[in-house]
């Protein structure tokens, strides 16, 4: 098997062609009804190949009403990945994650915590905007994705983590926490602590994209990331700050949690592990 190089990962050129196997392929009972993004993943390639393929994903019904897929953004060499819930109204319009009010809040908190947003990879657990329309102007109001939709979209997040190979993955809010740590995870209980993520492989971090021993190329051509243990850390979603009565206190909590990730990157996640 030909290894995928860091350059491939940065440029998304990969070592082979995107076969587009999901386009009209074995998707089940019809577009969106199979609740599985896996058939839409390219056979191999970097972030560019993934982003291109995700633009055509019909892995669940959420593609029907949203404007576009909002894929992750940031360098393939990022040491930290931040995972939100789903794109919001502004993200859906602009096609980039974390460009709305919550995104501005996150960027401010990252800076205050000592994390350079330009060196982070930002993405969401679910790549399409889920909303209801209400009011005379038909304002689009965020609606939380279901566990089924989140599970359907997980192969994209798994593939992003394979390609980027971060040292620390920060889950922003309950949906991202469940996507990374499992459906029983509670952000309110376990926030701010570095937790080793399951290794790639069946049932683990790499289960949605093939999986392999950490550090080597996977069976599907995606690199499996760094050999070291990858740590996860959960905190609130930045939109919780915007909704809070005591914004200053909730914002301070967000910054405090993000500082744990920043310190871990400075000193090594293993030395900062909380449990």
Q: How many residues bind ligand SF4 (CB under 6 A)?
A: 16
Q: Cα angle at 8 between 106 and 202, to 5 degrees?
A: 75
With CB under 6 A as the contact rule, which of the stretches 12-20, 126-134, 163-171, 228-236 interacts with ligand SF4? 126-134
Residue with Cβ nearer ligand SF4 (54 or 109) = 54
**Binding piece for ligand SF4, criterion CB under 6 A, among 72-80, 124-132, 213-221, 240-248:** 124-132
CA torsion angle 172 125 11 106 (round to 10): -20
Listed in sequence order, the DSSP H helices in the chain are 6-11, 47-54, 89-94, 101-113, 147-164, 174-181, 187-190, 239-243, 247-267
Considering the rule CB under 6 A, would residue 126 count as an interface residue with ligand SF4? yes
Strand 80-84 to 231-235 pairing: unpaired
Binding mask 158-197 for ligand SF4 (x = CB under 6 A): ----------------------------------------
Q: Which is nearer to ligand SF4, 57 or 110 (CB)?
A: 57
Interface residues for ligand SF4 in 40-99 (CB under 6 A)? 54, 57-60, 62-63, 69
Copy the structure tokens of residue 79: 């040491």
Least separation in angstroms between CB 68 and ligand SF4: 10
Q: Which is nearer to ligand SF4, 52 or 259 (by Cβ)?
A: 52
| CB-CB contact of 218 with 224 (8 Å) | yes
d(CA 251, CA 14): 40
| Residues within the interface to ligand SF4 (CB under 6 A) | 37, 54, 57-60, 62-63, 69, 126-128, 149, 152-153, 156
């Amino acid at each position: 098997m030909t290894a995928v190089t860091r350059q491939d990962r940065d440029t998304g050129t990969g070592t082979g062609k995107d076969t587009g196997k999901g386009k009209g392929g074995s998707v089940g009972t019809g577009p969106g009804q199979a609740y599985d993004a896996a058939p839409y993943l390219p056979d191999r390639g970097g972030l560019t190949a993934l982003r291109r393929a995700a633009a055509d994903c019909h892995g669940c019904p959420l593609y029907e009403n949203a404007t576009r897929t909002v894929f992750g953004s940031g360098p393939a060499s990022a040491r930290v990945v931040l995972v939100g819930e789903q794109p919001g109204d502004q993200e859906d319009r602009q096609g980039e994650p974390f460009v709305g009010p919550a995104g501005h809040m996150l960027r401010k908190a990252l800076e205050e915590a000592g994390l350079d947003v330009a060196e982070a990879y930002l993405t969401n657990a679910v790549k399409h905007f889920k909303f209801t329309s209400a009011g005379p102007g038909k304002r689009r109001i965020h609606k939380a994705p279901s566990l089924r939709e989140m599970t359907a979209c997980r192969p994209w997040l798994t593939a992003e983590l394979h390609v980027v190979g971060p040292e620390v993955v920060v889950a922003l809010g309950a949906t991202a926490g469940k996507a990374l740590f499992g459906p029983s995870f509670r952000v309110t209980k376990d926030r701010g602590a570095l937790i080793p993520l399951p290794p790639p492989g069946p049932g683990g971090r790499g289960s949605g994209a093939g999986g392999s021993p950490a550090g080597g190329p996977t069976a599907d051509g995606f690199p499996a990331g760094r050999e070291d243990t990858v740590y996860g850390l959960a905190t609130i979603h930045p939109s919780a700050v915007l909704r809070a009565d005591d914004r200053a206190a909730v914002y301070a909590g967000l910054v405090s949690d993000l500082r744990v990730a920043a310190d871990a990157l400075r000193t090594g996640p293993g030395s900062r592990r909380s449990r």
